[in-house]
Structure formats: structure tokens, C-alpha cells
Amino acid sequence: MALSGMRGLSVFISDIRNCQNKEQERLRVDKELGNVRTRFKNEKATHLMFFLFTLTHIRIYGLTPYEKKKYVWKMLYIYMLGYDVDFGHMEAVSLISAPKYPEKQVGYIVTSCLLNENHDFLRIAINAVRNDIIGRNETFQCLALTLAGNIGGREFAESLAPDVQKLLISSSCRPLVRKKAALCLLRLYRKNPDVVNVDGWSDRMAQLLDERDIGVLTSSMSLLVSLVSNNHEAYWSCVPKCVKILERLARNQDVPQEYTYYGIPSPWLQVCLILNISIIRWTWICPGSYSSPSSMGLTIIVEQLEDITVSREVKTMRALQYFPEVEDPNTRRSLFEVLQRILMGTDVVKNVNKNNASHAVLFEALALVMHLDAEKEMMSQCVALLGKFIAVREPNIRYLGLENMTRMLMVAEVQDIIKRHQAQIITSLKDPDISIRRRALDLLYGMCDVSNAKDIVEELLQYLTTADFAMREELSLKAAILAEKFAPDLSWYVDVILQLIDKAGDFVSDDIWFRVVQFVTNNEDLQPYAALKAREYLDKPAIHETMVKVSAYVLGEYSHLLARRPGCSPKEIFNIIHEKLPTVSISTIPILLSTYAKILMHTQPPDRELQSQIWAVFSKYESCIDAEIQQRAVEYHALSMKGAALMDILAEMPKFPERQSSLIKKAEDSEADTAEQSAIKLRAQQQNSNALVVTDQRPANGAQSAGQLGLVKVPILSNAVRFSSIDHKITHGQDQSAAERVSHANGALTVVDPQPPSTPSPDLLGDLLGPLAIEGPTGAAPQSEASVASGLEGGVDADALAIAPIEEQANAVQPIGDIAERFHALCLKDSGVLYEDPYIQIGLKAEWGGHRGRVVLFLGNKITSPLNSVQALILPPSHLRMELSLVPETIPPRAQVNVKLRLPAVLNKFLQPISVSAEEFFPQWRSLSGPPLKLQEVVRGVRPMPLAEMANLFNSLNLIICPGLDPNPNNLVASTTFYSESTRAMLCLIRTETDPADRTQLRMTVASGDPTLTYELKEFVKEQLVNIPVPSRPPVAMPSHIQPTSPPPSAISDPGALLAGLL
């Protein structure tokens, strides 16, 4: 056993090794840490007395250098064991400035292990490091350069780079210092190219290339690679020298014995040389003026390849990949000859290292072949070789074979040849090594197209049942994407997804099953098939909840198509679905209720027994604690009592607007779409995605309408819509079918990224409130200007609403309800009615997260005839970035209305609650000491409200009340974080001091890290406190209460009200 040479350290390590368990180890470590801590503390105390005592006292009061060294090593050891060492960094750093080598060495090594470049303690060390670098002691210089090279950050670059540069080119320095200087400079330069001044370094680098020492040359060459890659032009003068060194090494073998590796003269140096020549040549190719030296370099590179073996070739060939192309036919020919020899002549040998080495070369050769755009024949050879590799026993080669085959997929012409190896690749999917399985999965995914999708996807599905959990999620996602992209027919697609849910339900995201429902809804020929499949799955014992959801949904919609089959009568369908109800979670129950209602509706003639069963279920859930379930139960119950009327409300779901699958979208973000011939895509093209969907609206009551055919123009939702809104549609099956008739159009818009509040603008808040103008056909530019003005003012009074009848004053439309009040309500919540008049209702639903949000406006036509030329003009607010999706053109006209509205995209939507503890709060509060970061204001005219209500208000503004921070019970302290696109989350703190005697005034203090934010937050909260309307009723009230002023034309089921219910 070799001992560390420090008895105390060895004893400690032995102790640790002898610990029986983790607990004992912890105790031993704690003891040692305590010991080290005390020693360091005492030492600090005696430090000052150092000069007062004679030399002998050092041994009594202070630590000897040996002891200090020993303790710092112990710290590092404890740190390596995984314990927190939160002290002693200072001691380690201070050892750097010790006068003697042993201590200094320990200081350097331990510091560079414990700290990283961002650590504050490192700053203390900079001076000591610099002193060592500029000092005369070369061993000290080595230590200092190593530390700076390993963990040096920006400040190191700023203060050390010139000195390091001096060392590198100094003629008096020995090679061991200079090679370290080169790599140290490389690190400093690579991390901070703007700080390290390398002007005029091309000459210096050229000089360095005359260096005889191979170590220095190797390091300098790495540095040169980095310099050159940043600025090609400057270093062209180095090329001839690089070529010369290369010649020297390659031809004369003029290299000390110790620098040969597996018989090759200094491979790494040659690598860098070649790399440099290649990068520099990169730029030469364009002007074409330096062709002679470059082709000379290239010739030599190619010759290099001839004396084969280890990693030099790897880099040589990697270097060659930086060439855009090889022009010279002779060079090209000899290059290909060499490559051919490598490809065909690499044998498997016994020695593992040698084998690895030769294959490293070979794989690099493969990459080069791909890069050089070789003839198809050569490419085919490569694929054939890889095909051999993926079947060998050596796992590294199998892995690399698969990896490189995946890369080969980029070459279009060999894709078919790769497909020949499909069987072997599928076998690799069952390899014992997960790394290899991953590669195989990637490759299968990459090579899948319409021709082999069936085989591959079915293989993936089969594998899914046995795959380890680490891979299941990826596997099922990939299978779903492939199935959608390359489905040869849609029934197959439905099969795949249902199997996927069956086998790996936990890993099937909602996106996937929404998508299948969407396809089934939009393709009539698919509906009976899907219903049948769903029915079959329900027979299985213990099916996944997602399967319950899909089956219930599909059967609710389409089970009547199966009615004649055995086991598919409404009653049987109901029974089998109802069996699952006790096993499902709250989120599934609403879907089941919708299904029941639909089954009931489809049962013609009505089956009394079934009816009473289903009604019993409804009445059971009418008192359910979950609001969604309760509401559905109540509504369905009431609706189903109405008999024939039910038919309307529960009519089949309309077709979904064609939209891109969110899965595919995800996949396409990273890869080019190759799914040209996929069935789904073809379908999508055949069906005009902007299709007119004709819905047969049965007259709800005879007097009302003469059997109108509602022409619904479905807008394409733009790709910018980030979250699929299908969830909303599906989970609200019944509502949606009603709403479909109502929202004769729906447009969606995606809003908004607030820009950082860093540019002080008193109008920030005003700008956040982008006005929305809905105009009639003649609405023109002047109006939008007017809207901008009102938007900027951000007034919430009558100005916010400008009803501008454009042609006939008589046509003026009165809004229903107080618009300002609605706006305020929407500031506090995320869905509700933004505007309503007898003709139109605008509902709003928003999702906010961090610095972005999505706002969907539902424009509902409340009358029975269409509204034409609807325009929703969203005026871009200056502090938000908007992405708009298309807005429908038709909600046909009865009235021409121009309504300007404020969208509730207000400050608090970009807040996220965070609760802070007293320890976090007070330092922050104190550090923000005064204006402009901390503002105080006495607010008068506050709407009087009890403290609890005010706390609620704050909470609903996402300002979370932190109780207990303020000793005065009349004060409220709240905190939140503000998100914007370019700033981090910013903490905001608010304190309001209320006066129990006078509730109409309070003093408010707001603090945050940004003056604008502080100001705007203060103004915003003030506005909320002063202006908040007393909600006389819930902002989204029960549908029947909502139109006090003008009863809607349609009496039986007011669409507007239904829309409100939808939200």
C-alpha cells in the first residue's frame, strides 16, 4: 500500500475506509471537519499575533505549513466523498501565496478542484496567481498557468492574458512553462475572445511554429486552431510553416523517441497541424489566389493518410471535413484511393486498443466519404460495411455502426440501401445495451417512411411491452409521430394509437389521443371502424384510463353506427362504459357524462329503462363536489328531460379545423419533413383545410327559423397557436356542439411577450393594455388611430368603449353590462365575457405563464343570421409582442359595429406568485432602499373593504400575501415575481398599511429591482384598489341572467349564454 506521505491524512483515509456504513462515515467526517474548522479558526486568531511572537511560537499557536497542507488535503478528500465543505476555501486559496512549493502546489490543486470559474473566492486569488506568473520561479509559473487554464474565467482573462502571452513567446522560458502558457491562453481566449488581445499575433504564432520542442508545438497548435477558427484571414502566413513541420514529422521522422505513440511520431501535433492548414484553406478557396500552398498542404494531408494507423488519421480526416470540396482531380483521386484502402483494409485484430484505434480511423473515413460527396458506389460500400458492423459482437463497433448509419441517412441515395438492413437494426432494438438500443431507435425513426412505416411502427409497438421504463416515453412518442406522419391508411393509424394507449397509456400524452379523436371526427368513413375498435378495447379487463376516455368519447359520438352489431346496443354500450366509472379519476367523469347524454340522445325510440339509469347517474353527480362534473350533470339532466330539443344540443361534433399536429410540429422543428406521401397528409391536402363545413342545424323551434343551413367558415388556426385548444373542445363535448352553432366563427390569437421594463416609460401599463377594435367593413385607418390613443391612455371609463356606428346612427348598439366592470373582472381571472351586446358576444379565455400568454377571443354571433365582414383588429401594444392567428371574416351583418375594447393583458398576468419567508424578505426589502426602486404613496379614495377581502384581491392579482411578516395586523405584505422575455424573474415586494379608522385610504410601498417595474406595479395596484367595481353578481353569471337589456332573438337556447357557459 502506498502511503500518502502524510500520516494524519493516511490515518483519516483508513478510518473512512474502515467505516461499516454511511452513518459511521458521516460521523467520522463531521468529527474531522470540526477538527479542521477549529484549527483554521485558531490560526486566524493567531495570525495577527504572528509578528509579536518569536519564531518558536508559530508551532504553538499557528499551523505549520505541513499541518495546513494536511488539513486542506483532508478537505479535498471529504469534498470528493460528496460532503459539503463550506469553509476553508479561504485557507486553500491563501496557500497559493505560500512561499514554498509544497504548500503552493496544494493550494493550487485544491483551489482548482473546489472552485469553479464563477466562484467569488477566486477573485482573491487573482493577484497571487499573477505574481506567480510574472515571477521567476518556473515551477510556480506552471502551477499558476495550470490553474488559470483549468478554471480561469473572465477576470482572469482581463488581468492575466498579457502576462500569459509574454510567457508563451518568451525565449528565456523553458518548454514546460510555455506549453502550459499556450493552453492557458487558449482557455482564456476561447472563453473571452473579446478580452484577450490577439492583434498582431499571426507573426508571433508563426514564430512559435519554429519551436523545436514537440510539447510546446502541440499546445501552440491547439491555440492556433482556436485563433484561426475565429479569424481565418489573419493567420494565413502560418500555413507554409505548418506544412513544413508536417513534412518534417511525416517524412524525416525527426521526432524524439518519447513522442511516438504506437509507433507514430507525435500524432496529436500532426493532427493540429493538419487542422490548421485545413481551416485556413477554407478561406483560400473563395479568393482562389493561394491555391498552390493549399494544394500542397492538401497533398501532404493525403499522403499522411497513407502511413496508416492511429488517431492522427482520425483528426486528419476530421480536418479534411472542413474543406468545402476537394477540387484538384489528382488529389481527389489519391484521397479516394486512401479512403478506399481504409474502408476495405481495416481488419479486426486481437489487441483491443489497436482495434479501437484502427476503427476510430475507419469511422472518421466514413464521415469524410459522406462529406466529400463520393460516388454512389463508394457510399454503398460504406453502408455495406456499416451493415457488417451492426452485426458484430464487439459492442463499441455495433454502437458506432448504428450511429454512423443514422448519419448516413443524410445521403439520400443510400437510404434504400440502408433499408436492406432493417431486420438487423430491429434486432438491435433488443440489444442488451441501452446505448445501442437508443441508437437503433433513432435509426429506425430516421429511416422510416411510407414504405416501411407499418413494419417499423409495429415493431416499436411490440417492443414497447418489454422496453425498459427509461425508454418507453421516447418510444411511444416516436411511434405516435411515425404513425401520424406515414400512415398508409387511417384505420391503421387508429389501430396504432389505440394499441399505444393500451400498452403504454402512462406515456401517451393528451396530445396523442386528442389527435386521434380529431381524425375520427373529420373522416366519416373512419367513424364506424373507430367505434368498433373502441368497443373491443372496452371488453379488455383493466384498461388504461386514457383508453376509457377515448373509447367513451368515440362511442358517445358514433356508437349508434354500430347499433346492429351484437353487444352494441345503447344499453350494452352504456353498461360497459359505466362499469369503468368507479375506476376513473375526476377528469374522466365529465367525458363519461357527455357520453351518457349522447347515448341517451341516440336511443331512438327512447328506452325507458336506460333513461332512468342514466338519469340516476346524472342526479347522483348533481351534488358532486367537482364543479365541472356537477354542472354537466345538472345540465344534461335538464336537457335530456326536454326530449326532442336534446337532438340539437347533442348533435354530432362538427369537423375540427385542420391544424398541424402538435406532435408533428415538435418533430418538424428539428427535422425536415419527409412525409410527402403520407395518407394523412394527402387527406389534408384533399380536404380543403379552409373547408366550408355545412352543418345541418335542425330548427330548434318552428317559428324561429326556416331550417337555415348555417355556413360555417372555419378559420385555420395558425401555427402560432402553441397550445392545442382541442382539449377544451373535447372535454366539453356537449357544450361544444352547442357552441359550434353559436360561435359561427372562432378566431384565436396568441399574445404577447412583454418586453423588459428596462426602458423607463411611464406608459408601460397603458401600453400593456392593447386595445382591441372590432370594426365593420368601412372601418378605416383613422379609427385605428383613435383606438391607439384611447389604448394608450388606458382609461377604464366610458372612453374605453367607443361605439362608433359608421353608417347609421340609428343602428347604434348598446352594450350589455358594464364594460369596465367586465374588464376588471377579467384582470382578476382568465376567462369570461369581455363584451356583449344584443348581437355579438366576445368571450375571452387566456392562459398565462411566465412572460408569455395565449389569449383566445370567442366572437359569438347571438342572432340567427350571419354577421358579415367581421374584423378583429388588434392594435399592437408597444411593450408586447403579438402573434395573431387568422380572424374569421364572417359573422354576418345585422349591425355594423365598431367596438373598441381593452384586452385584459395587464401587468398582473405576467406575475407569478411566490411566497417569501422573513429571512428572504427583509434583506431584500432593506437592500431596495428608496426611490426609484422603492416607491411609497398614500392612496386615497380606496373602495372600502375588509382586510380579508383586500388580501383576496391581492391574491387574485397574483400578489401573494405573506402573513406574519408585518407585526401590525392592519398591514398586508405581498410578494410576487414578474416575468418578461429578456429579464429573469424579478422579485417584487409590496407593503400596504391600512388605517382601521379610515378604510378609504392606505399607504402603499412597492419595491422591485427595476424602477419602471416598481412604478408600474404601484400604479397598477392603485388602480385596482381605487377603481374596482363592486361585483353585484358573478362576472360570468348564469346564462339566463346575462342579458337584462335586450332578450336575444333566439329564445330557446341563447347562444351567447351558452358561449358564456363555455368559458
Partner 1 sequence: MGYDRKIHFVLLISRQGKVRLTKWYSPYTQKERTKIIRELSGTILTRAPKLCNFVEWRGFKVVYKRYASLYFCMCVDQDDNELEILEIIHHFVEILDRYFGSVCELDLIFNFHKAYFVLDEILIAGELQESSKKTVARLIAAQDSLVEVAKEQESSISNIIAQATK
Q: Which residues inside 699-728 make contact with partner 1, applying CB under 8 A?
A: none
CA nearest 828: which of 751, 906, 900, 765? 906
Residue at grid coordinates 433513432:
442
Judged by CB under 8 A, which of 50, 87, 101, 922 binds partner 1? 101
Closer CB to partner 1, 309 or 452, in the complex: 309
Judged by CB under 8 A, which of 41, 44, 47, 100 binds partner 1? 100
Under rule CB under 8 A, residue 916 binds partner 1? no
Judged by CB under 8 A, which of 68, 241, 281, 359 binds partner 1? 359
Under rule CB under 8 A, residue 310 binds partner 1? yes
Q: What's the 3-state SS for 229-247?
A: HHCCHHHHHHHHHHHHHHH
Q: At closest approach, how far in Å is the CB of 83 from partner 1?
A: 10
Site for partner 1 in 948-1007 (CB under 8 A): none
Under rule CB under 8 A, residue 765 binds partner 1? no
Under rule CB under 8 A, residue 669 binds partner 1? no
d(CA 603, CA 762): 63
Site for partner 1 in 267-286 (CB under 8 A): 267-269, 275, 279
Closer CB to partner 1, 56 or 252, in the complex: 56
d(CA 227, CA 363): 28
Closer CB to partner 1, 367 or 834, in the complex: 367
d(CA 69, CA 104): 9
- Using CA atoms, how far residue 204 sits from 152, 210, 245, in Å, is 23, 10, 16
Judged by CB under 8 A, which of 71, 77, 156, 954 binds partner 1? 77
Q: At closest approach, how far in Å is the CB of 66 from partner 1?
A: 7
Question: Residue 775 is inside which H or E element, if any?
Answer: strand 771-775
Under rule CB under 8 A, residue 55 binds partner 1? yes
d(CA 532, CA 554): 9
d(CA 370, CA 379): 7
Judged by CB under 8 A, which of 20, 21, 56, 688 binds partner 1? 56
Judged by CB under 8 A, which of 36, 78, 109, 548 binds partner 1? 109
Judged by CB under 8 A, which of 27, 45, 49, 80 binds partner 1? 80
CB atoms within 10 A of CB 191: 15
Q: Side chain identity at 993, as an amino acid letter? A: E
Site for partner 1 in 438-497 (CB under 8 A): 438
Under rule CB under 8 A, residue 183 binds partner 1? yes
SS3 1001: strand
Q: Are 899 and 771 spatial neighbours (Cβ–Cβ below 8 Å)?
A: no
Q: At closest approach, how far in Å is the CB of 284 from partner 1?
A: 17
Closer CB to partner 1, 174 or 420, in the complex: 174
Closer CB to partner 1, 438 or 655, in the complex: 438
Q: Which stretch binds partner 1 (CB under 8 A): 26-34, 173-181, 709-717, 787-795?
A: 173-181
Under rule CB under 8 A, residue 1016 binds partner 1? no
Closer CB to partner 1, 33 or 651, in the complex: 33
Site for partner 1 in 137-156 (CB under 8 A): 139, 145-146, 149-151, 153
d(CA 742, CA 262): 80
Return the ∠ at Cα 828 (arms to 825 and 830), rounded to 5°. 90
Closer CB to partner 1, 428 or 523, in the complex: 428
The grid coordinates of residue 352 equal 483491443
Q: What is the DSSP string of 923-982?
A: HHHHHS-STTTEEEEEE-SPPP--HHHHHHHHHHTT-EE-TTSSSSTTEEEEEEEE--SS
Q: At closest approach, how far in Å is the CB of 73 from partner 1?
A: 6
Under rule CB under 8 A, residue 176 binds partner 1? yes
Judged by CB under 8 A, which of 17, 136, 212, 350 binds partner 1? 17
Under rule CB under 8 A, residue 186 binds partner 1? yes
The residues, ordered by sequence, that sit 6+ positions from 880 with a Cβ below 8 Å of its Cβ are 751, 752, 753, 754, 755, 767, 768, 770, 905
- Across the strands, what pairs with 772? 874, 901
Under rule CB under 8 A, residue 347 binds partner 1? no
Under rule CB under 8 A, residue 433 binds partner 1? yes
Under rule CB under 8 A, residue 229 binds partner 1? yes
Phi, psi of 847 (to 5 degrees): -125, 130
Judged by CB under 8 A, which of 159, 165, 220, 311 binds partner 1? 311
How many of the chain's residues bind partner 1 (CB under 8 A)? 86
Judged by CB under 8 A, which of 91, 364, 753, 767 binds partner 1? 364
Q: At closest approach, how far in Å is the CB of 540 from partner 1?
A: 34
Closer CB to partner 1, 132 or 836, in the complex: 132
Q: Are 448 and 442 spatial neighbours (Cβ–Cβ below 8 Å)?
A: no
Q: Are 1025 and 943 spatial neighbours (Cβ–Cβ below 8 Å)?
A: yes
Under rule CB under 8 A, residue 787 binds partner 1? no
Q: At closest approach, how far in Å is the CB of 99 from partner 1?
A: 10
Site for partner 1 in 209-228 (CB under 8 A): 214-215, 218-219, 222, 225-226
Under rule CB under 8 A, residue 309 binds partner 1? no
Under rule CB under 8 A, residue 353 binds partner 1? yes
Residue at grid coordinates 395518407:
679
d(CA 173, CA 479): 62
Under rule CB under 8 A, residue 350 binds partner 1? no
Q: Side chain identity at 72, as an amino acid letter? A: V
Residue 88 Rama label (left phi>0; alpha psi -120 to 50; beta) = left
Q: At closest approach, how far in Å is the CB of 200 from partner 1?
A: 23
- Using CA atoms, how far residue 409 sits from 370, 667, 870, in Å, is 10, 17, 49
Residue at grid coordinates 323551434:
701
Distance of CA 306 to the CA centre of its chain: 47
Site for partner 1 in 371-430 (CB under 8 A): 395-396, 398-400
Site for partner 1 in 247-266 (CB under 8 A): 256, 258-259, 261, 266
Under rule CB under 8 A, residue 346 binds partner 1? no
Phi, psi of 962 (to 5 degrees): -105, 100
Question: Residue 611 is inside which H or E element, if any?
Answer: helix 608-621
